[in-house]
Structures are given as structure tokens and as C-alpha cells.
Amino acid sequence: MTDVPCPPELPCPPDPEGLRPATLAVRGGQRRSAFQETSEALYLTQGFVYGTAAEAADTFAENIERYSYSRYSNPTTRTFEERLALLDGAEDALATSTGMAAVFTAVAALVRSGSRIVAARELFGSTLTIFDDVMAGWGVHTDYVTGVDLEQWQTALATPADVVFLETPSNPMQDVLDLRAIAELAHEAGAIVVVDNVFATPILQQPLSMGADLVVYSATKHIDGQGRTMGGAILGSKKLIGGRIRTMYRMTGPTLSPFNAWVLIKGLETLPLRIRAQSAAALDLAQWLEQQPGVASVRYPFLDSHPQRELAGRQMSAGGSVVTVTFESEGDGRETGPSGRSRDVERTFAFLDGLRVIDLSTNLGDAKTLVTHPATTTHMRVPAEQREAMGVMDTTVRLSVGLEDVEDLREDLARALEARRG
Ligand SMILES: *Cc1c(COP(=O)(O)O)cnc(C)c1O
């Protein structure tokens, strides 16, 4: 896993063999400098100097491995990559400036004009734009399937494909897709399977162990988890990461800044703790919300009412931090109210505006509990019919549960439910 040899005079990173995730999250990939600092060092440097002209020549000829330029690699960024790779059970990783840089770099490196992508329809909006606009313009065709429908995958993958792309659980309706079954079909079709694992995080789900070839993250979400920096990562085998993906990465420059890498290293230290706590609070609130008057349905992977509850239990070790709630639409829901919006939207806005602790924000995975109305924000450009076919109604809200006292969150939600009833 190390790309730079550990100099004999310095402490090496701990041998990760046999260490558990909580330990790896705190210690994985750390290489102390000669100062023997406790915390990970922050190497804010663009470049690196050579002792001799021959060393520079040997570096460029790739006769020796060492740091040369931070667009390629940097010791702080490398610690983040190694720590995340250990948590994911990946051989290698590349850290990117944002989640979208990870999605784009991975996919762009795997396709050529004439390539074919098969993707689940339930994807992050910007990913859909990359496929439908950018990739389409380059002669790369994408066929979409309904992610939970294995028959659709089977039909689509009866024809050879280059890339299969999916998210599970999906945003915002939390469909749980069968990773093992889809990966098997994809491999028969000759495709490389890329999984956006943002919702589950490496703590709850390890797609590489279930047949995925690459995992991508927005580290902006749970990995930072405290609203500070953007970031992302691509993970997989040494062979896949070290081939076209590494060339694309090094030459086009989606690199993560060392400063942000350092923030994310510190984020990883508390990731297992945060995810467990946020998942426990999310399940508690999901079960409680299901019982509240005016709530039509609650989507959460570990709720007994979830249509893929059994699959979620096999693929994930907890349900994650996001709860999706759909309120009842009352008879005249589509009629326009005093604000010019539909009555359904007005009543849902009354709920959102009735919250005092929970913030309105389209982000997720944060220590602060956040709520968003997908129909008028993240999914406003999806035509209403298509949106509703996905289950995203005018009365649907997505709650990202944070680290506050769960009783304060419950009281806040109860207050907002009352405001919604008017
Ligand atoms: C946020 C998000 C992304 C994009 O990440 P950025 O860091 O905002 O670029 C991609 N996929 C999913 C599922 C996300 O939630």
C-alpha cells in the first residue's frame, strides 16, 4: 500500500494487519516525521527538492519512488488515502478535491468514444448531468435501469457494457440495490462496477467486498462530517487505480489540497463513532416518525417497513444517518394555496419553517441535523412525473441526522409537525 518507502530512521505506519476499523481510523497511514509529532503532519508544499541532479533524473525516469509534485501526490494527502483505503478494504486510493471530481475522474478514465454505461436511474443530480450531457457529448451512451429491479439489470447487461454505476442506498428514497447480484451481471457483460458509497460510508458498507471494482466518495459528507471542507476519493485495486485512472488524475489535476486532506484525516478519526451514533439516532427518529399523525411513510434502510430491509441487513451493518419522510397529501394537495405554491408544498414548508434546532440545508452527513425539501431544491429540475415515479413527492423531506441529543431533535420535529398541521 505504501507508494513511498518508509525511511529506516523514521517510525513507519503501524502494520494494519489484524487491526479493527476504529483503530485504523485513528492510526492508519500515519508516517511521523523526524520531529515525532503526535498528530499527523500537514505538508503544505507544492513541490519537493532533490539532493542531486541524478536523483531528479531518476525520479522522472521512475527508477525511484518519491514525492515530486503535489498535483500527483503529497505526504498528507497520502495519509488520507491510505487511511481511507484501509477502512474500505481497498488496495489503493486517490484523493480528489470534491466528490464530483472523484465520479468524473473515475468514469472519464474508463470510457472512450463509443463506450456504453449502464446506470441506476436513482443517482446524484450532478452525476446524471455528467452522463447525459458531458459523456453523451463525447459519444458515450448511458442506459438507465430502475436500481432495485434485477430483471432490468439483466436485460440491460445482456449487451456488453464498459461501466456500471450505482448508489446504494440511493438519494433521497434510500432504495437498497443488490450489490452482489448486480456486480455479477456487470462482470458477465465485461463492465467495471463503480459504486458511489456516500450514504453508507466505509463504516457501514464495503462494496469492494461484494464485487464492486471501484468505490467513489464525496468526503464532503460524513468523512468531514463537520461542514468544513470539500473532498472526495476513488478506491479500488492497485491495478485499476494505477492504470488509466492514475494517468487521468495526474494529468487533469482533480487533486485534493493537503490542507483539506489534513482536515479529512481528522474527520476519519471520529468517523466510526459518529456514524454509529448518527445511525442509532436516525433509526430511533425513523421509528418514532412512522407513528406520528400526518406522516404517510418513512424510508430508512433498517426500518421493518423498508421494501429491501432484508437485503439492507446483509449489505450494511446499520442504516446510516438519513431518514426520508413523506407527509400525507390531503385531498386538495395539488390546489394552489395563498403563496402560489401547491397546498402540499405550503404545508411541507410550514413543517420546515417550524423547526428551531434543525437547519435547512441540502448537505448531509453533518454533525448538525439538516433537512431539505428535494422537490424544490436538489430535484427541482427533474420533471414532476419522473420525480414522483421515484417516490419524491411534494410532501417528501430528507432528514440528515446529526449528533445533537436525540430528545432535542424529537421535540423539534414534534413542534414542526404541529406547525404543519396549522
Ligand atoms: C454530495 C454527493 C456527491 C458529490 O459530492 P461533492 O463533494 O459535492 O462534489 C456525489 N454523490 C453523492 C451520493 C452525494 O451525496
If you write DSSP's letter for every residue of 321-363 in order, what string do you get? SEEEEEEPPPTTTTSB-TTSSBHHHHHHHHHHHT-SSSEE-S-
Angle at 403 between CA 399 and CA 407, to 5 degrees: 80
Q: What's 377's domain CATH number?
A: 3.90.1150.10
Lowest mean pLDDT among 68-77, 248-257, 270-279, 326-335: 326-335
Residue 15 counted as domain residue: no
Residue 3 resides in a domain: no
Cα-to-centroid distance, 234 and ligand 1 (Å): 13
Say whether both 191 and 306 belong to one domain.
no
> Tell me, what's the pLDDT at 330?
79
Residues in contact with ligand 1 by the CB-under-6-Å rule are 98-100, 124, 167, 171, 196, 198, 218, 220-221, 230, 232
Work out which ligand 1 atom sits closest to the CA atom of 171: 13
Residue 204's domain spans which residues? 21-267
Q: Select from 96, 97, 98, 100 the residue to mutate for testing ligand 1; criterion: most ligand atoms less than 8 Å from CB.
A: 100
Query: Interior CA angle at 162 toward 223 and 246, to 5°?
Result: 50
What is the band of 150 on the pLDDT scale with cuts at 50, 70, 90? Answer: very high
If you average pLDDT over residues 139-144, what whole number do you get? 98
Note if the bond before 172 is cis, omega within 30 degrees.
yes
pLDDT tens per residue across span 326-368: 999 977 677 888 888 999 999 999 999 999 999 999 999 999 9
Q: Whose CA is nearest to atom 5 of ligand 1?
A: 99
Across the range 267-286, mean pLDDT stands at 98
As given in the structure block, the three cell numbers for residue 26 are: 485513528
Cα dihedral 302, 379, 345, 173 in deg (nearest 10): -10
Please say which residue of 267, 300, 315 terminates a domain: 267
Q: Which numbered atom of ligand 1 lies nearest the CA of 167?
A: 13
* 9-23, 115-129, 180-194, 391-405: least confident range: 9-23
Please answer whether residues 195 and 186 qualify as being in contact, where contact means their C-beta atoms are separated by less than 8 angstroms. Answer: no
327 and 219 inside one domain: no
Domain assignment of residue 13, yes or no: no
Indicate if 219 and 309 belong to the same structural domain.
Answer: no
Is residue 227 domain-shared with residue 288, that is, in the same domain?
no
pLDDT confidence band for 9 (50 / 70 / 90): low
Residue 4 maps to a domain: no
Same domain, 132 and 256: yes
Mean pLDDT of 9-38: 89
Please indicate, yes or no, if residue 152 is contained in any of the structural domains.
Answer: yes
Q: Which of 235, 267, 299 is the last residue of a domain?
A: 267
Average pLDDT over residues 117-140: 96
Domain end position, chosen among 251, 267, 283? 267
Output the average pLDDT for the chain.
95
Alpha carbon distances (Å) from 404 to 138, 212, 359:
46, 34, 12
pLDDT in tens, 367-413: 999 999 999 999 988 888 989 988 999 999 999 999 999 999 999 99
Domain count, the chain: 2
Residue 2 within a domain:
no
Is residue 5 a part of any domain in this protein? Answer: no
Same domain, 192 and 219: yes
Nearest ligand 1 atom to the CA of 198 is 13
C-alpha 125 – ligand 1 centre gap (Å): 9
239/348 same-domain check: no
Same domain, 261 and 275: no
Does one domain contain both 279 and 217?
Answer: no
In this structure, the answer to whether residues 69 and 112 fall within a common structural domain is yes
Read off the pTM.
0.96
> Which ligand 1 atom lies nearest to the CA of residue 103?
10
- 357 domain-assigned: yes
- Protein residue closest via CA to atom 4 of ligand 1: 99
What mean pLDDT comes out for the span 305-309?
98
